[in-house]
């Protein structure tokens, strides 16, 4: 095994810790409105670091045997949430609230890596790809009906992109993509919230006081912040009466207003560095399982960031997706730190396990 400190682990640790600490700093500004926010964020950060260290030293190849159990457990929790619609997106265990959708991309990545571990070098097997696609689709649909279209899109895009990268022929990839797109179009009318958000996205100024309010206020926050921002704790868009959900899904406009476009660009560059490092780890991994798992985990974090940024810039309909490591939300932070820990462990592995 390689030492814990290598160029890849340094890069991953630097980016994830920098983003998290910056998120805690922003929580300090938001604490004016949400007094206990920074304490909860620090607790999540500490727990995340502990999980990162555990998985950085845990032999990731042993996770393969847990992939099926993990999928069944995830499926069961999501089915429970679907049947018991009153409990929303969280499963409650005493004082702890668990949001399965935030960990779904890890489970999906593990399962795909396990399925294709022994088949990646074989001739293309249509049934295997179809099975993997169906398993990803089932999880995405269950998450969508929570309803959580943002996390559903993140999980589906992670799994679908992963299948394309590992060898699904182009014609099947395009076919499944078209089928999925048509499925989404047909599903939108089934939920009034989805329908309202899509309509507001297509014509935001006609819905400026309701469904498009967050998007338009987000753009105004960026405009007010300009290049260098109005100053730490001097912003107005952190107040829920001005911009709802500013602590999680719409934390980026708060950053843009107080710290300016410079810091927003730096955040994007940080995510690009993290994604690049994850892909390099996957490329250098010697085992098929490690390679696919590293790709899946990297794609999962990447799609969280891409969807959140796109929504905040008005490029996608409003969805409930946090900004990785920065937004308030313990479940998302823990899931992402687990992913970083596994990626570090993969980068430390010399032989094909």
Residue of higher predicted confidence among 5 and 348: 348
What is the percent of the chain where pLDDT is above 70? 95
Domain for residue 93, yes or no?
no
Domain for residue 89, yes or no?
no
Domain for residue 2, yes or no?
no
Q: Is 194 helix (H, G, I), strand (E, B) or coil?
A: helix
pLDDT confidence tier of residue 351, bands split at 50, 70 and 90: very low
Q: pLDDT of 209-241, one tens digit each?
A: 888 899 999 999 999 999 999 999 999 999 988
Closest C-alpha to 56, from 302, 347, 331? 347
**Alpha carbons 218 and 242: distance in angstroms, whole number:** 10
Lowest mean pLDDT among 117-131, 272-286, 317-331: 117-131
pTM of the full predicted structure?
0.94
Domain for residue 348, yes or no?
yes
Tracing tokens 């099947």 back to the chain, one arrives at 172
- What pLDDT does 123 receive? 61
Give the angle subtended at the CA of 126 by the CAs of 121 and 128, to the nearest 5°: 70
The two tokens of residue 318 are 């409003």
Q: Region 311-316: what's the mean pLDDT?
A: 94
Q: Region 117-128: what's the mean pLDDT?
A: 71
pLDDT confidence tier of residue 112, bands split at 50, 70 and 90: very high
Contact 23, 263 (CB under 8 A): no
Number of domains in the chain: 1
Q: Region 86-114: what's the mean pLDDT?
A: 87
- The CA dihedral of 284, 289, 295, 301, to the nearest 10 degrees, is -130
pLDDT confidence tier of residue 93, bands split at 50, 70 and 90: confident
Domain for residue 90, yes or no?
no
Domain for residue 1, yes or no?
no
* Average predicted confidence (pLDDT) for the chain: 90
Residue of higher predicted confidence among 117 and 305: 305
Is the per-residue pLDDT at 263 higher than 70? Answer: yes
Domain for residue 94, yes or no?
no
- What pLDDT does 3 receive? 59
| Cβ atoms within 10 Å of 345's Cβ, excluding its own | 27
- What pLDDT does 194 receive? 83
Domain for residue 306, yes or no?
yes
Residue 158: which domain range?
A: 7-83+99-352
Is the per-residue pLDDT at 121 higher than 60? Answer: no
């Amino acid at each position: 095994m390689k030492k814990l400190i290598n160029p890849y682990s340094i890069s991953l640790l630097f980016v994830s810790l920098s983003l998290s600490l910056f998120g805690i700093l922003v929580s300090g500004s938001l604490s004016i409105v949400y007094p206990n926010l920074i304490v909860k964020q620090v607790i999540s950060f500490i727990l995340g670091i502990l999980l990162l260290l555990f998985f950085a030293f845990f032999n990731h190849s042993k996770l393969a045997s847990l992939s099926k159990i993990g999928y069944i457990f995830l499926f069961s929790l999501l089915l429970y949430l679907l049947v018991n619609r009153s409990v929303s997106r969280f499963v409650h265990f005493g004082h702890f609230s668990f949001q399965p959708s935030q960990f779904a991309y890890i489970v999906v990545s593990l399962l795909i890596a396990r399925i294709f571990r022994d088949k990646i070098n074989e001739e293309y097997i249509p049934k295997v790809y179809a099975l993997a696609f169906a398993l990803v689709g089932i999880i995405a649909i269950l998450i969508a009906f929570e309803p959580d279209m943002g996390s559903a899109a993140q999980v589906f895009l992670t799994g679908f992109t992963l299948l394309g990268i590992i060898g699904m022929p182009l014609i099947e990839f395009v076919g499944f993509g078209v089928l999925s797109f048509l499925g989404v179009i047909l599903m939108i009318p089934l939920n009034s919230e989805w329908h309202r958000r899509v309509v507001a996205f297509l014509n935001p100024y006609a819905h400026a006081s309701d469904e498009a309010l967050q998007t338009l206020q987000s753009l105004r926050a960026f405009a007010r912040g300009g290049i260098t921002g109005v100053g730490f704790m001097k912003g107005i868009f952190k107040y829920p009466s001005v911009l709802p959900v500013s602590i999680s899904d719409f934390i980026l406009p708060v950053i843009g207003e107080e710290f300016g476009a410079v810091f927003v660009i730096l955040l994007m560059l940080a995510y690009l560095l993290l994604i690049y490092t994850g892909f390099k780890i996957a490329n250098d991994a010697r085992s098929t399982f490690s390679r696919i798992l590293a790709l899946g985990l990297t794609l999962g974090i990447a799609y969280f960031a891409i969807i959140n940024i796109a929504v905040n810039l008005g490029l996608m309909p409003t969805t409930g997706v946090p900004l990785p490591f920065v937004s308030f939300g313990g479940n998302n932070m823990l899931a992402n730190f687990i992913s970083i820990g596994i990626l570090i462990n993969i980068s430390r592995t010399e032989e094909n396990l």
